[in-house]
Chain A
């Protein structure tokens, strides 16, 4: 079976309006730049995005917000985006804010075939409203459901034709978790290689989780906070 596609537009051929889409990345680090550009170009509407952040005004998921393609955003932190703020306050977009560890672990549960997780994050806060609380060994935990996403769009450093993936540095973040969680997982990589070229010991995401893969182009890799020190 061939998993290799030519580019993002081809790999996203069956993406539809109202899809639930996971997007990897933390801030602008490790985001699937090519897939986001394709979502804008294909102009899919009313999508639900599951992503830790919502990009900035003119990059990342911010590009989808600008074109009003997002119906609902599920994230842990959404600062740094004025258009997001406007759509949120005007009620044009729904937003579900959830703790970052809960977000990560709900992705993981999906990829591990577990329907729920129990986490102490949010106990006693408004995050707990309407959720089942259970006490284990004297401590309260919230029951949180595994995500159910139509597509997971992830970015890796290297990948092979079988979909095996290796991430670089902190660009790993949510990518391997979302890669495991998509009904259809599409990976874009900086370098696409032949099977056998990646050391099996160093692969982060086994190709069984990845349905489609392509080599991305023109990576901008924008830096949000450029902080440096003197020599």
Chain B
């Protein structure tokens, strides 16, 4: 079973040199800590920054310089600021190569639910609906089951949707999966996790072809 850090580490292996990447809040943010050697990526923060740097050294925080999670950050050589319309313009126009975000549920046809639990407090979708509606390449980072142990990989999402037919790949604590026309195709198992366990915890259609390799880091 993977820790949250390991989920981020596995996703980071999918980064390619030159990628512009938008990382959501939570596990996706951790991906920035595992960018492979020799791979240069530019992080986009949808509040208006390309080229997001690390957190500032204590004492050098700047209230005018934050990321989409409202955390203090820094710039890098070559960073650029822009307004929110241009930020979502570059997202909508497909200029961002990879979007990594969390989810409450994903369905076997690539629908995602991530912003609202009816009856509970609704905080809003922020930029998630814009991102999933336009990104060509979306990886979801999440736990395979919810706190009650119920599968989050479903035939059909039960919660209000964030977007439809948009998720391409999913990395959970148990597996790396790809969504194709027939369902969740199992690409890799987390170390020590069996195909049976993944099958058991996947409510949607799971496609198993041949021997499923174990993830390597």
Interface residues of A (CB under 8 A from B): 26-30, 52, 75-79, 85, 88-89, 97, 99-105, 107-108, 119-127, 157, 167-177, 204, 221-231
Q: Is B81's CB under 8 angstroms from A100's CB?
A: no
Interface size class of chain B, counting residues whose CB lies under 8 Å from the partner chain: 35 or more
Q: For A99, what are the chain B residues with a Cβ–Cβ distance below 8 Å?
A: 125-130
- Report Cα–Cα, A175/B65, bound state, in Å: 15
Q: Is A120's CB under 8 angstroms from B92's CB?
A: yes
Contact with A along B137-154 (1 / 0, CB 8 A): 000000000000000000
Q: For A77, what are the chain B residues with a Cβ–Cβ distance below 8 Å?
A: 123-126
Q: Is A105's CB under 8 angstroms from B88's CB?
A: yes
- Is B172 in contact with chain A by the CB < 8 A criterion? no
- Given A104-B85, A173-B47, A226-B72: A121 and B124 interface contact (C-beta under 8 Å): no
Q: Is B81's CB under 8 angstroms from A85's CB?
A: no
Given A77-B123, A169-B75, 12 other A-B residues pairs in contact with their CB atoms under 8 A: A26-B68, A28-B63, A29-B47, A77-B124, A100-B130, A101-B129, A101-B130, A125-B163, A170-B65, A224-B70, A228-B61, A228-B72
Q: Is A169's CB under 8 angstroms from B85's CB?
A: no
User: Closest Cβ of chain B: how far from A185's Cβ, in Å?
Assistant: 15
Contact with A along B34-78 (1 / 0, CB 8 A): 000000000001111100001111111111111111111101000
Q: Is B125's CB under 8 angstroms from A97's CB?
A: yes
With beta carbons under 8 angstroms apart, the residue of B58, B69, B127 that contacts A76 is B127
- Is B158 in contact with chain A by the CB < 8 A criterion? no
- Report Cα–Cα, A223/B45, bound state, in Å: 17
User: Closest Cβ of chain B: how far from A133's Cβ, in Å?
Assistant: 12
Q: For B202, what are the chain A residues with a Cβ–Cβ distance below 8 Å?
A: none
Q: For A26, what are the chain B residues with a Cβ–Cβ distance below 8 Å?
A: 47-48, 66, 68, 70, 84
Q: Is B84's CB under 8 angstroms from A174's CB?
A: yes
Ordered nearest first, which 10 A-B pairs have the shortest CB separation?
A101-B88, A101-B130, A124-B164, A221-B63, A104-B84, A120-B133, A99-B129, A79-B123, A77-B124, A100-B127
